[in-house]
Amino acid sequence: GAAIAHAASPPVVVSPAHVVYSQPVVVTTAPQTQTFQALQSQAAMPALGTVYSALPSGCSLELVQGQNYYRCGSYWYLPQLGPQGVQYLFVAPPA
């Protein structure tokens, strides 16, 4: 497969998928795996509604209008219970 560029912080893991992202964005296929890794960067903003099984280190829990969110820099995630446990939905910043 193709080489992956070095990353400045730990990647976010999402399941299932067959693509690995790093910074700068380099796409490779991951044979025989159901894991997707996406490193957050302003250059590679995830699509709204993308679901992650883990968040990068340094995220803070924020309570907005009675709802818990995780804020990771300028990105916001809504924790949800999924089939494998807690998942994090990428959302627009809450109002």
In contact, 39 and 75? CB cutoff 8 Å: no
Measure the CA–CA gap between 47 and 20, rounded to whole angstroms.
15
Omega before 16 cis (within 30°)?
yes
Q: What is the CA radius of gyration of the chain?
A: 14
Q: Model pTM greater than 0.95?
A: no
The pLDDT of residue 95 is 86
pLDDT tens digit string along 60-88? 999 999 999 999 999 999 999 999 899 99
Contacts of 33 (CB under 8 A, 6+ apart): 18
Comparing 58 with 33, the larger pLDDT belongs to 58
State the CB neighbour count (10 A cutoff) for residue 23. Answer: 19
Find the mean pLDDT for residues 16-29. Answer: 40
Measure the CA–CA gap between 82 and 80, rounded to whole angstroms.
6
Measure the CA–CA gap between 59 and 36, rounded to whole angstroms.
19
